[in-house]
A and B are shown apart, each in its own frame.
Chain A
Amino acid sequence: MITDIDIAIIGAGPAGCNAALIAAEYNLSVVMLDEQASPGGQVWREKSRAILNAPRTPESVAGGLIRNAISQSNVSHLGGVRVWHIERSEDAFVIHYENAGVSCFLNCRSLVIATGAREYVQPIPGWTLPGVLGMAAATSIFKQDLIPIGSKMVVSGTGPLVFFVAAEQQRLGGKISAVVTSNTFLDWMKALPAMLFRPRLLFRGLRWIIALYVNRIPVYWGHTVTRVEGKSSVSRVEFKKIRKDWTPQGEPKFIDCDCVSMGSGLIPAFEPFQLVGISLEHNSDLGGWVPKQELDGRTNVDGCFICGDGAGIRGSLAAETHGKLAGLSAVAFLGAKISHPIEKLRREHAKATSFGEAMSKLSIPRPGLTKLTTAQTVVCRCEGVTRAEIEEEISLGAQSTISVKSGVRAGMGLCGGKFCQTAITDLIAKAKSCPVNEIVPPTARPPLRPVSVNTLAGDFNYSDLPISKPAPL
């Protein structure tokens, strides 16, 4: 087992892979750890190995190239492992991870965190019914299993992902009942200047939308799904027109369907940053709570660098250049002389960022979004806590995410609050009439993912237990 290395990279998406590849050019030992078996992350997720052949897509081509590059490089790829804790020691980081049921660790002199984003879904009545899934979740299924989902899908959400999900569902032989998006045509026109720099992506997006119209699939611009209905699974959705601030208004309309893919944008998965000691700050343009960052992925923790959507939602193109820059920062931190043209990379990154930010702007939550969560809507899915219960706790005096969590268990379940904290933060801020950036997320605690007692305890002889002196009588 490798235990002492120069650079560890957590996450093998576009950011992590590029950081690893560039760092490995400097004769340093580079290990890249990732939950998935193959590199690629969410955007370049590899198809299941059971599928021998499949038509190529831009994602599968780019993913194939990066997987090839990694396999031919000096990067040690540790796939199928789960990092559960990161510790700082004097001049190193200790990464604890689960590999096939065994807890292992490695020490690295420098660390690049490229753990990406997670999807935010604003809770609405019925969102916990079987048949409801996130938009990013749908794309994972499409990319990995190459199957459509359900027989009649409604896609509802923001940004380009709505159209990508609809396009992929159709390409794979599935049906779309309707596309509902909070964005208006005008929102998209505003994003146009940034998109002109990426004509191929613009063209691809246009093709998705045109295909919907050609296939006579209704597209509801400036609308949102307000309720999912069904007894034991989804049978139809209620949707409404929304005002400019995304407050639903007007008569409810209905569409029959058996599945709903919905999402309210991406947010950085910030728990690994908290564990390492990187401060967070709030930035709505970048997806909410993001790690404080300096040039080229530097942070307030010496030797720890960040890149990709985890550092703020800028999209996969920017993640690639960000990864390269953060990889080089790690190399420079270890004292090597950089031979890559950093200035040029920074310019490329700035360009990619302006495109990515234009896209994520389409998903920045507006005040009306939270109104979708009714009093009886379950906000914390793991513990089954409704908005009304959370609001009552706040009104009784719980003024922080930690207090709400302690009082009503919202965020204490299996997901550790990853699904509900954004909505809870909004509720507290609303009740206190303060900006949402004053409501800080709860302290992150390991394990980053649930890990079994056997894995954490390992092999053990009772006689080896380090028994300290008994407590004073």
Chain B
Amino acid sequence: MGCASALQMAEGGMKPIVLDQGDIGQGASGVNAGTLSLQIKRVKLMPYAIRGHQEWESMGDDVGFKKTGGYTLAFTDHEAELLHERMSLKAEAGAPIEFVSNSVLREAEPNLADRVVAASYCAEDGYANSSLTGQFYRARLKQQGVQYRENFKLLSVEACNDGYVIRSANTAVKAKKLLFSAGAWLKSLSALMGVELPVRARINTVSITERLPMLTRSVIGHATGLLTLKQKANGTLLIGGGWQGHGTPEQGRGQIDTDSLRSNLALARHVLPAIKDARILRSWTGFEANVPDFYPLAGKLPGYEDVFVLGCVRGGYTIGPYIGKLMGDYILERTTELPLFDPGRDFPEAVT
């Protein structure tokens, strides 16, 4: 998101610099499962998600974009009810989601478990390769002449007469305006400015198998949202679904929880039984930031006119490149195509 904003600002004539504590695109956007599915987006965010999909499609091969279509499956009557209720609302919000019969599903995806009670389909769904996020944006920044510093361990931010000085151990960067787009690290970053944002982090688990014969062509989800499954062109299968690991952003990159992993893989095997003997090569976690109302933070940092915040998008990988552009426009003082989300709004009491 930070990169997308920076590119937009550069396009609008500003001179941005991107600072990252690690490598570009290696936070949430580099370690998530890469699912681009309108079926798992929030109703109110659908217009943003649809435009997000268009952004990814235009990035194309450079980010491993594939529009495969996606199915969401229900295995019990209760799940079927849930699926109908949720997908109908998402369809009303503009996502081209339809319900499909078992025979249509079986024809398209013969390897799926045959116990499916109900299924929805969205032709717009697909995936991109999140590993390539860093490579892609690094190249775009270079191409647009936007400076960036990786491995920049921020120590302090100080106000000066016409902006801010941001210091690491051995460098100082001066800027008129600041944009914080540090995902799960937004909380500690805003705290430096004396602002407490109610940012929490989910610790999502993702696993990948060895290369397998082709078993599925679509992105597969589950009515509860607890599974995403897709097979890449190289045969590896990515398994996600937001199962929770351990750790905090301050402590590092998080660790998997073995109970979560077991359930996650059991659900994947339930949906696609042929993966039972496939070997898992890696399981990892990534932080997905959110605030109590699960809507984005996108606007001015409360109490500041020249410090901006962008994050906690809920579906941030899908929507990121688009909302990043909006943020760029906002900082450029242009009218944004869709409204942003004031970080200074009131939040409900934190309930997870």
Residues of chain A whose beta carbon lies under 8 Å from any beta carbon of chain B = 85, 87, 94, 96, 103, 105, 393, 396-400, 402-403, 405-407, 409, 412-414, 416, 443, 445-447, 450-454, 456-458, 460, 462, 465-468, 470-473
Q: Name B44's closest neighbour in chain A (CB-CB).
A: A473
Q: Name B30's closest neighbour in chain A (CB-CB).
A: A406
Contacts of B226 in A (CB 8 A): 465, 467-468
Contact between chains at B266 and A85 (CB < 8 Å): no
13 interchain pairs (CB within 8 A)?
A96-B258, A393-B135, A398-B134, A398-B135, A413-B281, A443-B253, A445-B284, A446-B283, A453-B209, A456-B280, A457-B262, A457-B266, A465-B267
Interface residues on B, range: 35 or more
Q: Name A450's closest neighbour in chain B (CB-CB).
A: B279
Contact between chains at A457 and B269 (CB < 8 Å): yes
Contact between chains at A452 and B255 (CB < 8 Å): no
Q: How far is the CB of B225 from chain A (nearest CB, A)?
A: 5
Contact between chains at A467 and B261 (CB < 8 Å): no
B151 part of interface (Cβ distance < 8 Å): yes
Other A-B contacts than A452-B277, A456-B265, 7 sampled, CB-CB below 8 A, are A103-B262, A397-B142, A399-B23, A414-B281, A457-B268, A458-B266, A471-B40
Contacts of B258 in A (CB 8 A): 85, 87, 94, 96, 105
Q: How distant is the Cα of A456 from the Cα of B255 in the complex, in angstroms?
A: 16
Contact between chains at B42 and A456 (CB < 8 Å): no
Residues of chain B whose beta carbon lies under 8 Å from any beta carbon of chain A = 22-23, 25-26, 30, 40, 42-43, 75, 82, 86, 89, 131-135, 138-139, 142, 150-151, 209-210, 224-226, 242, 253, 255-256, 258, 261-263, 265-270, 275-284, 294, 314
Q: How distant is the Cα of A467 from the Cα of B270 in the complex, in angstroms?
A: 14
Contact between chains at A452 and B281 (CB < 8 Å): no
Q: How far is the CB of A431 from chain B (nearest CB, A)?
A: 14
Q: How far is the CB of A99 from chain B (nearest CB, A)?
A: 15
Complex A-B, nearest 10 residue pairs according to Cβ-Cβ distance, in ascending order: A450-B279, A460-B266, A457-B266, A406-B131, A457-B265, A407-B135, A397-B138, A445-B282, A403-B23, A445-B284
Q: How distant is the Cα of A130 from the Cα of B242 in the complex, in angstroms?
A: 42
Our pick among A393, A451, A467 for the contact of B224 (Cβ within 8 Å) is A467
Contacts of B268 in A (CB 8 A): 453, 457
Q: Name A101's closest neighbour in chain B (CB-CB).
A: B277
Our pick among A406, A416, A472 for the contact of B134 (Cβ within 8 Å) is A406
Contact between chains at B23 and A452 (CB < 8 Å): no
Contact between chains at B26 and A445 (CB < 8 Å): no
A473-B42 contact given A406-B131, A407-B132, A460-B270, CB 8 Å threshold: yes
Q: Name B150's closest neighbour in chain A (CB-CB).
A: A399
Q: How distant is the Cα of A105 from the Cα of B259 in the complex, in angstroms?
A: 12
Q: How distant is the Cα of A52 from the Cα of B283 in the complex, in angstroms?
A: 42
Contacts of A450 in B (CB 8 A): 210, 279-281
Contacts of A406 in B (CB 8 A): 23, 25-26, 30, 131-135
